[in-house]
Amino acid sequence: MNHRKTYKKSDPHQSDHAFRYLKVKKETIDSYKLFKNLKSTDKRNQLEDKFNHRVCPVSVPFYLYNMSKPFLKDKEIEQIHRTLTNKITLFKGGDVDYYRDDIIERAFKQLLNALRDVKSR
């Protein structure tokens, strides 16, 4: 027998080699699990971004939308603005048209103050 073959088959060398192999295999498995987790989290975030994407409705002024966005949904904001605009146009007169945006803004502010008070209780 050759002395090299006996050295390769000796117990300390084989156990070191086996432990190194297991360590590399475990690190590979852990990194693969981490990769899968990150990949699924990234996909989940992309889906949440698609569902949570909000756009200002066309009929609503941008400053009103930004003011009420944390408290109301887009459809609610649009519906409230449309209702206020329709109710104000029932009144005829030059002053109503001039102050229409100011009246709508004050109505939105009062509504948001009432919502904040209700949520704080």
Q: What is the pLDDT of residues 62-119, one digit of tens each?
A: 998 998 888 888 898 999 999 988 887 766 666 666 778 888 889 889 988 888 887 7
CA–CA separation, 113 vs 104, rounded Å?
14
3-state SS string for 34-83: HHHHHHHHHHHHHHHHHHCCCCCCCCCCHHHHHHHCCCCCHHHHHHHHHH
Mean pLDDT of the region 19-45: 70
pTM of the model: 0.54
- Predicted local distance difference test score (pLDDT) of residue 97: 67
Query: What residues contact residue 82 under an 8 Å CB cut-off, 6+ apart?
Result: 59
